[in-house]
Amino acid sequence: MSLAAIIFDVDGTLADTERDGHRPAFNAAFAEAGLAWHWDEQLYGELLAVTGGKERIRHYATLHDPGFLLDPDSESRTARLHAAKTRHFLALLESGGIPLRPGVEQLIGESRDQGVRLAIATTTTPENVTTLLRVNLGPEAEGWFEVIGAGDIVPAKKPAPDIYHWVLRRLALPAGSCLAIEDSANGLAASLGAAIPTLITTNAYTADQDFGGALAVIPDLGKTDLARLRQLHLTTYGQHK
Ligand code: XBP
Ligand code: MG
Of 124, 162, 181, best ligand 1 pocket probe by most atoms within 8 Å of the beta carbon = 124
The pLDDT assigned to 241 comes to 46
CA of 234 to the centre of ligand 1 (A): 30
Checking phi first, is residue 73 left (phi over 0); if not, alpha (psi -120 to 50) or beta? Answer: alpha
Dump strand ranges (E) for the chain. Answer: 5-8, 117-121, 147-149, 178-182, 198-201, 216-218
The pLDDT assigned to 238 comes to 55
- Nearest partner of 190 among 160, 149, 157, judged by Cα: 160
CA of 157 to the centre of ligand 1 (A): 9
Give me the active site residues, please: 9, 11
CA of 227 to the centre of ligand 2 (A): 24
Judging by DSSP bridges, how do beta strands 147-149 and 198-201 pair with one another? unpaired
Bridge partners of 15? 11, 100
The pLDDT averaged over each successive group of 10 residues in the chain (241 residues) is 95 98 98 98 98 98 97 96 98 97 98 98 98 98 98 97 98 98 98 98 98 97 96 74 46
Ligand (nearest to CA of 203): 2
Q: Which atom of ligand 1 is nearest to the CA of 22?
A: 5
Ligand (nearest to CA of 48): 1
b/e burial code for range 200-227 (CB count within 10 A of at least 16 → b): bbbbebbeebebeebbebbebbeebebe
CA of 182 to the centre of ligand 2 (A): 6
Checking phi first, is residue 103 left (phi over 0); if not, alpha (psi -120 to 50) or beta? Answer: left
Contact 82, 75 (CB under 8 A): no
Ligand 1, CB cutoff 6 Å, lining residues: 9-12, 18, 22, 51-53, 122-125, 128, 158, 187
Of 11, 80, 202, 206, best ligand 1 pocket probe by most atoms within 8 Å of the beta carbon = 11
Q: For ligand 2, a single-atom ion, which residues have Cβ within 5 Å? A: 9, 11-12, 183-184, 187
CA of 178 to the centre of ligand 1 (A): 22
In whole angstroms, how far apart are CA 87 and each of 12, 21, 42, 99, 110?
19, 11, 23, 18, 33
The pLDDT assigned to 235 comes to 79
- Nearest partner of 223 among 104, 137, 120, judged by Cα: 104
Tell me which amino acid residue 71 is. D
How far is it, in rounded angstroms, from Cα 25 to Cα 40?
12
Ligand (nearest to CA of 185): 2
pTM reported for the whole predicted model: 0.97
- Nearest partner of 51 among 187, 164, 180, judged by Cα: 187
